[in-house]
Structure 1
Amino acid sequence: MALFIGLLWLALAIAVAMGAGLVFRQGAVAVAPRGVAKELRTAPMTASFGMMIIVIYIIVAVFAPLIAPFGETEIVGREYEPWSEVNLLGTDNLGRDMLSRMIYAARNTVGIAFLTTALAFIIGSVLGLLAAIMGGWLDQILSRTVDVLMAIPALIFALLLLTIVGTSIVNMIIIIALIDSTRVFRLARAVAMNIVVMDYVEAAKLRGESLWRLITREILPNAMAPLVAEFGLRFCFVFLMISALSFLGLGMPPSTADWGSMVKDNATLITFGDITPLLPAGAIALLTVSVNFVVDWQLHRASGLKE
């Protein structure tokens, strides 16, 4: 009986999520430019739901000071107070409002993850495209260096480097970006290697086009689809790594709201049947799944496959 009720609630939640995604897609089609609206009409329900969640997270991150009832580090009561009308999700281990901390964490965690992913893509894509175009000793040096770095587990490598250089937001962004850029390098190089042998690239070389114009005019536009899809996947991995490092105490500073550290700081409540520590973990999982829904749709579009 309990299993049946659980499945019923799950089916209801899925139906509500898909309905909300459909409403969001219709609204987006109504306000989007004609070209974008045409693409949105073909989006599956999962992608529509994913885009809706991403937009909600962005709105919460941008307007966090206006939405949060209290400040990010403001102590509003005793530690571990239960849910109430004043503190809707109770307080944490220092007496700070959990709801406010979760809202500010959307800005901190998601914003830093996006910045880190963008930096990783700039480094990895530029080096990967250069390796594919130039070849020779440059390709060999970069490829072998990336092979060595990728042989080390990413989380362990990040923990080691953060222990050496010290924990700070800047150090964390640089270290994770450098580690993750190796994955981007491999993809960018593999995609570019298939493009540089095309006739139009050879013709551009014979015309005397500069290296910059070869990359920006001939190679990058044709490699954009897999790189954009990879950006979404890498964002998820970076997002999860930042949360994992914060959970282990080597990520965000203690005063900075972050979903990973919030799970660690309030984990003791689980032993008393309080689900509050699971809410930051749920926020991490929901964004990860939503981004993957959108990435799957983009990969399907880029593959040229039809339903």
Structure 2
Amino acid sequence: MKLLASRLRRIPIGGLFGGAIVLFWIAMVLLGARVAPHDAGEIVDMDVFLPASAQFPFGTDYLGRDMLSRVLHGARYTVGIALAAALIASGSGLILGMVAAVRRGWLDAVLSRALDTLISIPSKMFALIVVAAFGSSIPVLVLMAGTIYTPGAYRIARSLAVGVGAQDFVRVAEARGEGTGFIVREEILPNIIGPVLADFGLRFVFIVLLLAGMSFLGLGIQPPNADWGSLVRENMAGLYEGAPAVLMPALAIASLTIGMNLAIDALGGRDALGGRRRSGEAG
């Protein structure tokens, strides 16, 4: 507990604030449907695009539905899908990158060239092709976004692992006869986890923005479900009236991305994350 408290004290206030925002929206993925005042599709007033009030803090949408409830329900799609896709991208990239860095040779060359080919395809073009071919179901969106951002995560992880693998303490472990699994788990991974987590945060933000853009074009989550990008698109008519229905989902996206960036800035350093070097094997 003392070690955890010491590390938390090293995190700037901005990082704690950003982390709190991110944790709040992650909690809404699990609890949003329970704490929302109304069902997502319930028409609560015959007047549309009502302004913010005590009864409807986010106003009402183009059908008279409560926007606060819609935003809370939408968190499960925007945040949930982005989180799952980011875990796939960063997890796959980390594993492949460390394997390529340790094994080197033909395996490294094949993985690097294959993922270089994938990263050369513009992300939105790839997304449009996948959605056109397979539809826009939630599994397709998760796998599509995860695949798009795996090459970038791979390149970061491989570069970090190659740098750590050249250090003396790794050479000492190899000379002791330690296996590849031990070297990856005990020597390389603890020394790259900070930058990898920072990169994971960036992947998460990129995926949120990609999925919001797809939904704004009508190619993301489909009715009756809606993520935040869909909420902005379907309430665009309220923009001319200054209705909060079009502003609040956009602010939710902004708060999530800003919060994650603040957390990344605070947690990106090795010291804040407890990144370490095995000083017992190298001076």
Q: Report the TM-score, using the length of structure 2 for normalisation.
A: 0.88
1:71 is the counterpart of 2:44:
no
Tell me, in whole angstroms, the C-alpha distance in 2 between the residues paired with 1:72 and 1:274: 18
* Alpha-carbon shift at residue 164 of structure 1 (Å): 1.3
Alignment CA distance shift 1:220-1:79 (3 Å):
farther
Contact 1:78 1:91 survives alignment (8 Å) = no
* Greater relative contact order structure (CA < 8 Å, 6+ sep): 2
Residue-pair matches, total = 272
1:20 aligns to what? none
* Alpha-carbon shift at residue 77 of structure 1 (Å): 4.0
Matches within 5 A, 1:264-303: 264-302=233-271
Within the candidate set 24, 37, 50, 1:82 is matched to 50
Within the candidate set 90, 108, 114, 1:139 is matched to 108
Tell which deviates more after alignment, 93-102 or 161-170.
93-102
1:53 aligns to what? 21
Tell me, in whole angstroms, the C-alpha distance in 2 between the residues paired with 1:130 and 1:254: 42
* Alpha-carbon shift at residue 86 of structure 1 (Å): 4.3
Contact 1:54 1:287 survives alignment (8 Å) = yes
1:156 is the counterpart of 2:125:
yes
Tell me, in whole angstroms, the C-alpha distance in 2 between the residues paired with 1:287 and 1:44: 18
1:179 is the counterpart of 2:148:
yes
5+ residue gaps, structure 1, are 1-32
1:106 aligns to what? 75
What are the Cα deviations for residues 262-302 of structure 1, in whole angstroms up to 9, with x where unaligned?
A: 00000110022323201111111111111111111122454
* Alpha-carbon shift at residue 85 of structure 1 (Å): 5.2
Contact 2:50 2:60 survives alignment (8 Å) = yes
Tell me, in whole angstroms, the C-alpha distance in 2 between the residues paired with 1:174 and 1:96: 31
Tell me, in whole angstroms, the C-alpha distance in 2 between the residues paired with 1:300 and 1:196: 19
Matches within 5 A, 1:164-243: 164-243=133-212
What are the Cα deviations for residues 84-134 of structure 1, in whole angstroms up to 9, with x where unaligned?
A: 554443332344321101011222211221111111111111111111111
* Alpha-carbon shift at residue 235 of structure 1 (Å): 1.1
1:40 is the counterpart of 2:4:
no
1:18 aligns to what? none
* Alpha-carbon shift at residue 50 of structure 1 (Å): 1.1
* Alpha-carbon shift at residue 160 of structure 1 (Å): 1.5
| Secondary structure of 1:63 counterpart | helix
* Alpha-carbon shift at residue 200 of structure 1 (Å): 2.7
What are the Cα deviations for residues 212-253 of structure 1, in whole angstroms up to 9, with x where unaligned?
A: 222212211111111011111111111111111111111112
Residue type of the partner of 1:167? S
| Secondary structure of 1:93 counterpart | coil
Contact 1:229 1:298 survives alignment (8 Å) = yes
Residue type of the partner of 1:182? P
Alignment CA distance shift 1:300-1:206 (3 Å):
closer
1:249 is the counterpart of 2:218:
yes
* Alpha-carbon shift at residue 185 of structure 1 (Å): 0.3
Contact 1:80 1:92 survives alignment (8 Å) = yes
Tell me, in whole angstroms, the C-alpha distance in 1 between the residues paired with 2:107 and 2:236: 49
Tell me, in whole angstroms, the C-alpha distance in 1 between the residues paired with 2:270 and 2:102: 27
Matches within 5 A, 1:3-22: none
Contact 1:87 1:98 survives alignment (8 Å) = yes
Tell me, in whole angstroms, the C-alpha distance in 1 between the residues paired with 2:73 and 2:132: 26
Contact 2:60 2:245 survives alignment (8 Å) = no
Tell which deviates more after alignment, 206-215 or 161-170.
206-215
What are the Cα deviations for residues 145-196 of structure 1, in whole angstroms up to 9, with x where unaligned?
A: 2222222221221112111121111001001101101110000010011122
| Secondary structure of 1:75 counterpart | coil
Q: Report the TM-score, using the length of structure 1 for normalisation.
A: 0.82
Residue type of the partner of 1:34? K
